[in-house]
Amino acid sequence: MLTVTGLTKRFGSATAVHDVSFTIQPGEILGLIGQNGAGKTTTFRMLLNLLQADHGNMTWNDQPLSLLSRETIGYLPEERGLYPKMTVVDQICFFGELHGMKRAAVMAVLDQWLDQFQVKGKPTDLVKDLSKGNQQKVQLIAAMIHNPQFIILDEPFSGLDPVNAGLLEAGIRRLRDAGSAIIYSSHDMGNVEAISDKLVMLKNGEVALSGALNDIRDQFGQTRLYIQSPLTQEQLLSFPGVVGVAQRSRGFLVKLAEPQAGHDIFTAATQQGYIPEFSQQAPSLDEIFRMKVEA
């Protein structure tokens, strides 16, 4: 288990990270989100022992995280970290060997990994000749092929189309199901909502939200309502507790001040019987993110 307590880092008079705490159990995925400059990359660099924290503790199974071996940890940086003139196979073998694998062990599973992520090209192709998306997948394989117990993924979905992002999500879940503790950052709240078990949101270096994803959404109440019914936009706006109505596809997205307002809308919408859709939920993670950033 990874335990981070009171993590703080200053650069001169500027505080990049202040009193950040969280835990990740084996088999859990934690999404670390925040605006640019919120402190995510600084946090990652302290976890990797690339920066020394001014205060706080980081432990893995009650031992200092700095003692964690290279065989145990995996890291995907946000910036492309590949050698463009190396072949795909030599690149992945190189990183596998850095994490304690023998070349023969890498070669034994390489085709499986390339197939799993549908890397376009041959293992003997130069990295520079691959598309940006396939380079990203090669870099991801290099970070994961040794099956690390703890893995940090900094913007892993960068440059990936929806199909390839789905392949990456599946790969991350497989590591989780094998018992890895995973922490990753993303600016795409859809990705975060799809695969995170827990969430930490940083704002100006401090924790603004933390906890299980569903628990965080529940804090904001079921104040978002999607409805398809005979009711018009003007009629929906007239209900007490409605603070906004927006056209969405064939229906309306209704913002409520209080969840209870949905009851009156449902009663009115169903006076004549069946309606195609009525769905009342908590705000999406994207909406929550915007609310906390703008607060």
Strand order in the sheet with 55-60: 14-24, 2-11, 55-60, 63-64
What single DSSP character describes residue 127? G
What does the pLDDT read at residue 159?
74
Q: What confidence tens digit (pLDDT) does each residue in 190-229 have?
A: 888 888 999 999 999 999 999 998 899 888 889 999 999 9
Of 219, 221, 207, the closest CA to residue 259 belongs to: 221
pTM, two decimals, is 0.83
Distance CA 201, CA 105 (A): 38
Closest-CA residue to 154 (of 183, 122, 174)? 183
What is the rounded average pLDDT of the residues 68-88? 85
Domains of the chain: 2-218 (3.40.50.300), 220-294 (3.30.70)
**Spatial CB neighbours of 237, under 8 Å, sequence gap ≥ 6:** 245
What is the mean pLDDT of the segment spanning 44-56? Answer: 93
Task: Give dist(CA 224, CA 227) in Å, integer.
Answer: 10
Q: What is the pLDDT of residues 256-290, one digit of tens each?
A: 999 999 999 999 999 989 999 999 999 988 888 88
